[in-house]
Amino acid sequence: LLFIAVCGHAGDGDLHPTTFYDKDNPKAAAALKAANDEIIAAALELGGTITGEHGVGTEKIAFMTQRFTPVEIAAQRAIKAVFDPAGLLNPGVMLPEVSPAEPDVHRFGAAVRDALAGTLTPDAKAPLTAGGNTDIEVNLGNLSLVV
């Protein structure tokens, strides 16, 4: 039903499985989904992640809650909101539905917004991360944000 080719990057361990199937076989689509789900589950079990540089898309949303904690997902949601406040960029792509387990991270989102604007004034009494480390570094030239 399937043929799976794997290529990757030896330096950092990224693997890119590519699955091929016979679209005329009625069992192939289900086998393809099962194979992809099994590959992702194995990656997580081995301490890997669900995606590399190509993003989550819609296929891997279901695995976000297996890979990331509610706090991590809430932080990702806050960062996306800073860059896309109207929610126009790829709605329904990457992030799962909001979970009641996600904490309120509005102060974190405001700090990210302020950091991007160059107006962040750290407040030592209001830590934004665990352990009291409130460092946020922005490198717009490299399009990176380190929290």
What are the pLDDT digits (tens) for 105-133? 888 888 888 888 878 776 666 555 555 55
Q: How many CA atoms lie within 13 A of 90 on its CB side?
A: 12
The answer as to whether 53 is a domain residue is no
The verdict on 22 and 86 lying in the same domain is no
The verdict on 78 and 141 lying in the same domain is yes
Q: How far is CA 74 from the centre of its chain?
A: 11
The answer as to whether 57 is a domain residue is no
Q: Which residues lie below 8 Å from residue 33, measured CB to CB, with a gap of 6+?
A: none
Closest by CA position to 1, among listed 28, 30, 23: 28
The verdict on 79 and 138 lying in the same domain is yes
The verdict on 92 and 43 lying in the same domain is no
- Count of other CB atoms within 10 angstroms of residue 85: 10
Identify the pLDDT of residue 88.
92
> Between 54 and 86, where is the model more confident?
86
User: In whole angstroms, what is the distance from residue 128 CA to residue 36 CA?
Assistant: 36
Identify the pLDDT of residue 48.
87
Share of the chain above pLDDT 70, in %: 87
Identify the pLDDT of residue 135.
67
Indicate if the pLDDT at residue 147 is higher than 90.
no
Identify the pLDDT of residue 97.
93
* Beta-bridge partners for 95: none
> Between 53 and 9, where is the model more confident?
9
Range scoring the smallest mean pLDDT among 47-51, 62-66, 68-72: 47-51
The answer as to whether 75 is a domain residue is yes
The verdict on 44 and 15 lying in the same domain is yes
* Beta strand 2-9 pairing with 14-21: antiparallel
pLDDT, tens digit, 9 for 90 and up, residues 67-110: 999 999 999 999 999 889 999 988 888 899 999 999 998 888 88
The tally of domains found in the chain comes to 2
Domain extent, residue 33, equals: 2-48
Contact call for residues 108 and 86 (beta carbons, < 8 A): no
Task: At 126, list the tokens.
Answer: 């209001």
Identify the pLDDT of residue 125.
65
The answer as to whether 126 is a domain residue is yes
